[in-house]
Amino acid sequence: MNSIAYYPGCGVADQARSMEHTARAVLQALDWEMQELPRWNCCGTVYSLASDDLMRHIGPVRVLTHVQELKLDRLLTLCSMCYSTLRRSERFLNEDRERLERVNAFLDDEPDYRGGVRAVHLLELLRDDIGYSALETRVTRPLEGLKVAPYYGCTLTRPRSVALDDPEHPSVLEDILEVLGAEPVPTAQRVECCGSYMTASDPSVVRRRVTAISEAAAAGGADLMITSCPLCQYNLDARLAEAARTGAPRLPSVYFTQLMALALGLDPALDEQVIDPRPVLAARGLAVEVEA
């Protein structure tokens, strides 16, 4: 059994537990174990874009230091935003020792961060470590006939310095869908922001964005959409359900890990969505038993 240190982050540990549940089960089936860090804190969510506030890198550094203490140099994340914040902070501090020294001085009697711990997104682990052919051998219930629109959002592929795929023409989600037997429906909206945290300040902007995203997916004939971020998922589910009352296509969204679980014959944990994906799955011959 292979193993990798794992950082849940706030979203995954709370409202996106179905993502963790399915990721863990899928990785187990692929002979990989996620070992949750004994201690962790919020990564800060949004990477600081200002050059003068080193304070905002303390959160990510504390998380990375816990990995360093385990004598490991990679950290698995499921959430796209955690992935981005951890990788960018690491790069920012590692490229200038003075910044790192100032952060360490602030951390006082906590262990110094020495640099070099890399956050790895689950999509990278699947593509680069596990490989699509190993995944393919575990597919017991191919998602034949299911049309799925991938939604990448922002932080998996932007900025370019930490992009895990081509920023304008990513393919990792489409590739995984094909391995699972589904038909990918790529749209121009798949890399366009859903409105992110503005869901807390201006929900109408988010409703307009998710309307455009779901319209593009529906126009391509998609049955549902997949996401890799708890915030995108919230916007494409809860906010889209609101937008659907005034005409947006009521297309369900699930985490890509949930579709993987379904194709591997594992529990897809599909009972938390506002827009229930089970009717459309059943219509494609992929009925999911509802647990009592």
Partner 1 sequence: MAEQMRLSKEALSADFARRVEELSGQSPYRCYQCGKCAAGCPFADDMDLLPSQVLRLVQIGDEKVLEARAPWSCASCLACEVRCPRGVDIARVMEAVRLLSLRKGNTPLCTADVATMGLPQIALVGISRKMTP
- Contacts with partner 1 by CB under 8 A lie at 10-11, 14-16, 42, 44-52, 56, 79, 81, 154, 157-160, 167-168, 191-193, 195-203, 205, 209, 230-231, 234, 238
Least distance CB 81 / partner 1 (angstroms): 6
Q: Which is nearer to partner 1, 68 or 77 (CB)?
A: 77
CA distances from 88 to 64, 82, 147, 158, 171 (A): 12, 10, 34, 10, 22
Q: Which is nearer to partner 1, 147 or 207 (CB)?
A: 207
Least distance CB 28 / partner 1 (angstroms): 26
Sign of CA dihedral 269, 271, 272, 273: positive
Q: Which is nearer to partner 1, 15 or 28 (CB)?
A: 15
Question: CA-CA distance, 87 to 75, in Å (whole number)?
Answer: 10
Least distance CB 286 / partner 1 (angstroms): 27
Other Cβ atoms less than 10 A from the Cβ of 71: the count is 6
Q: Which is nearer to partner 1, 68 or 228 (CB)?
A: 228
Buried b / exposed e over 44-54, threshold 16 CB at 10 Å, is bbebbeeeeeb
Question: CA-CA distance, 16 to 34, in Å (whole number)?
Answer: 16
Residue 251 phi/psi, 5° resolution?
-90, 130
Least distance CB 142 / partner 1 (angstroms): 32
Least distance CB 79 / partner 1 (angstroms): 8
Q: Which is nearer to partner 1, 33 or 202 (CB)?
A: 202
Q: Is residue 157 within 8 Å of 164, Cβ to Cβ?
A: yes
Q: Which is nearer to partner 1, 137 or 161 (CB)?
A: 161
Other Cβ atoms less than 10 A from the Cβ of 171: the count is 15
Cβ-in-10-Å burial (0-12, 13-18, 19+) of 108 comes to: exposed
Question: CA-CA distance, 187 to 92, in Å (whole number)?
Answer: 33
Least distance CB 172 / partner 1 (angstroms): 17
Least distance CB 22 / partner 1 (angstroms): 18
Scanning 131-239, the segments in alpha helix (DSSP H) are 132-137, 172-180, 203-219, 230-234
Q: Is residue 151 within 8 Å of 230, Cβ to Cβ?
A: no
Q: Which is nearer to partner 1, 195 or 268 (CB)?
A: 195
